[in-house]
Structure formats: C-alpha cells, structure tokens
C-alpha cells in the first residue's frame, strides 16, 4: 500500500530568491514602458448578441465601450426565431374571423410590432357586417419610396379540403407562416441600410372565400387597403404559405415579372436555387392582386404545392424554420442590398 502524499508544486530550476528578483525587474520594466506610452487597460465589451425571441429588445452598447468600438453586427433573419412567431400564433388557436383567437392574433401582432419599434396603426372597416381590421406597421417613414410587405393573419373557417370536416383550418403554413416572416423581418431589418419606407401589412379577411364563411369573397382585406391608398407604393411583396418543409417556390402567374426575377436571382445568390424555381406554375388570387390591378408592381411569394392546404392537418409541425429563413433572408437581402 502506497502512502498518501500531498501534491506539491514543481520546484523551479532556479532558486526562489533569484526568480523573484527577475520577476520584480521585469515588472519594473513593464511599468516603465507602460508609463512611457501612456498605455491604459482596454476593456473589451462583447457586442450585444442579437436579441432573442420573445423578449427581444434593441441591442444596446455598454456605456463602457470605447468610442471607437465597432457597431453591433447587423442582424440576420433567423429561422428559429421566425418559427417561434408562428408557434405563438398557433398557440392562440384557429384564427378565423369571429373567433376569439382571431382577436387575440390582432393583439399579438400589434404588441410584437410595437415592441420591435415599428409604428403601428390599424385600418378598420366593415366587411359584410364583420368588423374587419388590417394592421399596418411602418418604419423609415418619409425616407423614400414605399415598399409594402404583406401577409394575411386570418385563417379559414372550414377545412373543406378534409372530406366531411366542419372543423376550422389550424392555419400554420396558410396563415401563421407569412405573419411569422413579417414579424421576424420587423426584428432584424437593418433600417439604416434601407432607403425606403417599409410597411408591414397584416391583412384580415383573406381566406374565407368560396364558402369558408357563407357569402364571403377572398382577399377582402388587401382589396380594402389597395382601394384606399392615398400614396402609390413602389412595390408590394406578399408572403403566403411559405413555411412548408417541402418548399417549392415557383414564379406565380399574376406577379410582376421583373421583380419576381430579381427576387429569385437574389435567392439563387444566397444558395436557394433548389427552392426558388424560376418558372411559372400557379396563378393565384392572393393579396398581391388588388395592388397589381391598380398598376402597382406586386409579387406573390407562395408555395401552393402543399398537401395540407385547407385541411385540418395544416399544423405547426409542417412549418420548417429553414423554409421561413430562406424566404426571410431573400427579402432582407433585397431590401438591404
């Protein structure tokens, strides 16, 4: 059996007094050099990390930062953060006009956009006896031509693509995904780099045509906004059904050809060519149409090849953060380039 021993530090090669003397001399030299060049301790303050969802706030710079500190790194659209914005909406329940969750969705969108520093207003109007409400969040006001980014926040009352169902559509890809991308853009857009006024338009009463709610038509919210514009936006980009994990974004037949080509080129440049496919596949009645009909450049980014469209299975698990991120970063790059 070995005797237990206490651990001792290794003995230096030189004798202790000699080592202390050398160390003292070195310190003196260092202090002298320091005094000569007026060196001061430098406090390195790490840049504030991108604010996390959902308690995000603007990144702040510590007051102890030296004045020459670099600006915080620009924020990039984050798929997981966007997915959380979708999950928050889904937690409210199906958001068809007239449901309690629809009212809660309005409050949620207004709260989030305001928290992220955007100027929020509502556009209230009557649609077939229903008190409809578009929500508009604006930034860079007066800074340049107006760009509208739009998505509908209402969901469909009846999942009529599920045979025999009278249940509402949960509205994950068709509803929550577009709003989620707009809210994440509200968080990350580097507005100082953008010489345009940006409107985030959250449209009501889009998705209950053809019997969704008896007697209702499609795209009533965007129609109301387009019909009541007092300014002419330079462009409108609609995001609808963009969250599907199996993402295929084709050109859409009613969209402006030049802007569509530009957006798809940007996507390809970001490495998304497999998902943004530059050929027309579907021609849609969607929220871009009322603007396009008024001669405004408008594009609908939509993935209509979605097997759970208007079914009870349009649920949160169908949304992929990577899909949200591809669309979000494409739009962000378009605006900030």
Chain residues in the site for Zn ion (CB under 5 A) = 174, 207
* Residues 102 and 96: beta-carbon distance below 8 Å: yes
110 or 151: CB nearest Zn ion: 151
Angle, vertex CA 301, rays to CA 259 and CA 239, nearest 5 = 115
In the bound complex, what is the minimum distance in angstroms from residue 170's beta carbon to Zn ion? 12
In the bound complex, what is the minimum distance in angstroms from residue 212's beta carbon to Zn ion? 8
Taking the C-alpha atoms of residue 317 and residue 156, their distance in angstroms, rounded to an integer, is 18
Taking the C-alpha atoms of residue 272 and residue 121, their distance in angstroms, rounded to an integer, is 34
- List the beta bridge partners of residue 149: 200, 237
In the bound complex, what is the minimum distance in angstroms from residue 242's beta carbon to Zn ion? 13
In the bound complex, what is the minimum distance in angstroms from residue 143's beta carbon to Zn ion? 33
223 or 329: CB nearest Zn ion: 223
Taking the C-alpha atoms of residue 294 and residue 148, their distance in angstroms, rounded to an integer, is 14
In the bound complex, what is the minimum distance in angstroms from residue 174's beta carbon to Zn ion? 4
Residue 166: Cβ within 10 Å count: 9
174 or 252: CB nearest Zn ion: 174
275 or 309: CB nearest Zn ion: 309
133 or 177: CB nearest Zn ion: 177
Give the residue among 77, 20, 69, 21 at the shortest CA–CA distance from 48: 69
221 or 233: CB nearest Zn ion: 221
How would DSSP label each residue in 204-262?
A: SS-S-TTTTSTT--SSHHHHHHHHT-SS--SEEEEEES--BSS--EEEETTS-HHHHHH
Taking the C-alpha atoms of residue 276 and residue 302, their distance in angstroms, rounded to an integer, is 10
Taking the C-alpha atoms of residue 301 and residue 126, their distance in angstroms, rounded to an integer, is 28
Number of residues assigned to the chain: 337
Taking the C-alpha atoms of residue 97 and residue 204, their distance in angstroms, rounded to an integer, is 8
* Contacts of residue 179, Cβ cutoff 8 Å, sequence gap at least 6: 85, 86, 89, 105, 109, 151, 152, 153, 202
In the bound complex, what is the minimum distance in angstroms from residue 325's beta carbon to Zn ion? 22
Residue 165: Cβ within 10 Å count: 14
81 or 255: CB nearest Zn ion: 255
In the bound complex, what is the minimum distance in angstroms from residue 108's beta carbon to Zn ion? 19
In the bound complex, what is the minimum distance in angstroms from residue 156's beta carbon to Zn ion? 5
Taking the C-alpha atoms of residue 318 and residue 307, their distance in angstroms, rounded to an integer, is 10
217 or 336: CB nearest Zn ion: 217
169 or 189: CB nearest Zn ion: 169
In the bound complex, what is the minimum distance in angstroms from residue 98's beta carbon to Zn ion? 16
Give the residue among 135, 300, 260, 252 at the shortest CA–CA distance from 204: 135
């Amino acid at each position: 059996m070995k005797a237990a021993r206490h651990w001792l530090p290794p003995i230096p090669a030189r004798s202790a007094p000699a080592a202390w003397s050398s160390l003292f001399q070195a310190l003196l030299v260092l202090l002298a050099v320091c005094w000569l060049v007026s060196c001061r301790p430098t406090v390195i303050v790490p840049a504030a990390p991108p604010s996390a969802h959902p308690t995000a706030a603007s990144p702040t710079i510590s007051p102890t930062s030296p004045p020459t500190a670099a600006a915080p790194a620009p924020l990039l659209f984050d798929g997981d953060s966007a997915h959380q914005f979708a999950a928050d909406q889904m937690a409210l329940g199906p958001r068809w006009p007239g449901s309690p969750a629809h009212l809660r969705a309005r409050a949620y969108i207004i709260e989030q956009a305001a928290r992220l520093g955007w100027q929020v207003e509502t556009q209230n109007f009557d649609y077939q006896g229903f008190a409809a409400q578009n929500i508009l969040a604006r930034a860079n006001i007066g800074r340049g031509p107006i760009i509208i980014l739009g998505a509908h926040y209402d969901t469909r009352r009846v999942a009529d693509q599920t045979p025999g169902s009278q249940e509402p559509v949960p509205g994950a890809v068709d509803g929550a995904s577009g709003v989620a991308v707009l809210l994440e853009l509200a968080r990350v857009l580097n507005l100082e780099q953008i010489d345009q006024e940006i409107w985030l338009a959250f449209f009501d009463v889009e998705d209950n045509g053809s019997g969704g709610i008896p007697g209702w038509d499609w795209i009533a919210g965007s129609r109301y906004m387009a019909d009541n514009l007092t300014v002419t936006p330079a462009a409108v980009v609609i995001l609808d059904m963009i969250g599907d994990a199996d993402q295929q974004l084709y050109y859409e037949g009613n969209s402006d050809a030049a802007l569509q080509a530009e957006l798809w080129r940007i996507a390809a440049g970001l490495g998304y060519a497999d998902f943004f496919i530059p050929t027309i596949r579907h021609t849609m009645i969607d929220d871009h149409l009322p603007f396009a009909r008024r001669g405004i450049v408008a594009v609908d980014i939509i993935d209509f090849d979605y097997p759970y469209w208007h079914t009870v299975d349009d649920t949160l698990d169908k949304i992929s953060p990577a899909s949200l991120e591809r669309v979000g970063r494409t739009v962000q790059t378009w605006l900030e380039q």
